[in-house]
Amino acid sequence: MSEIGKKIASVVDSNLGPLLKEYGFRRRGRNFHRVDGKALLVVTIQSSQWNYGGSGKFRVNFGVHFPEVAKVLLGSDKMPKAPVETYCVLRGMWSFPDRWWQVDAATDTSELGVSLRAYWSETVSPWLEANKHLPTAAKTLETQLVGRMTAAAANLVMGEREQASRLVRVCVTDLESAILKQSSNAANVELLEGQLQDLRNWATKHGLLS
């Protein structure tokens, strides 16, 4: 591990590690997770791929995963046994501005630790606690441009078929509009048309499109 990698690890180990343990999270490397009812809460520390020498940065990625929603949406739950945030059906990164913590030789690690703990208590923990309940998570997904199809799957799990159908129609309209706007770019149109067909196939399979 590089020197900057060791410094980042030290900050995480001294601050977020013990704090998340208090909240019942289990750790595997830089991934933390906690099962709460039907929800899986996940926190992952991501270092920048551009970290080198004595300077680097990292961010705290967090999400909530519902295996039942994943199975409806994807046909199976692809979350690994050691949970990772990137597989969560609901990801905090689509609800908050991108935030990175810079670390270098001049970094006051004590001050950085205070900032990290404050970020957990003021932002991450309240969001995870609210969204561990599927009805709230479904509404959060609706606010995320990339989450509406997942929101439809969440509503199916909850038995809200009318709401799921409405969300599918919104997704179809958005994709059709995007195809028109990209009409001069054949590659983008092909990609969007593939996404639209996948959406229609999924919705038809679940009886959400007439």
Residues paired with residue 65 on neighbouring β-strands, in sequence order: 40
Using alpha carbons, list the distances in angstroms from residue 105 to 45, 111, 143, 194: 20, 14, 39, 48
Question: Could you tell me the mean pLDDT of each successive run of 10 residues in the chain, 210 residues long?
Answer: 74 89 94 97 86 79 98 97 97 94 85 93 97 98 94 98 97 95 95 96 92
Instruction: Tell me 31's DSSP state.
Output: E
Q: With a threshold of 0.85, does the pTM exceed it? A: yes
What contacts 185, CB < 8 A, 6 or more positions away? Answer: none
Tens digit of each residue's pLDDT (9 = 90 or more) over 63-116: 999 999 999 999 999 999 999 999 999 999 999 998 998 888 788 888 989 999
Nearest partner of 142 among 166, 119, 159, 167, judged by Cα: 167
**Torsions phi, psi for 115 (to 5 deg):** -65, -40
CA 191 from centroid of its chain's CA atoms: 23
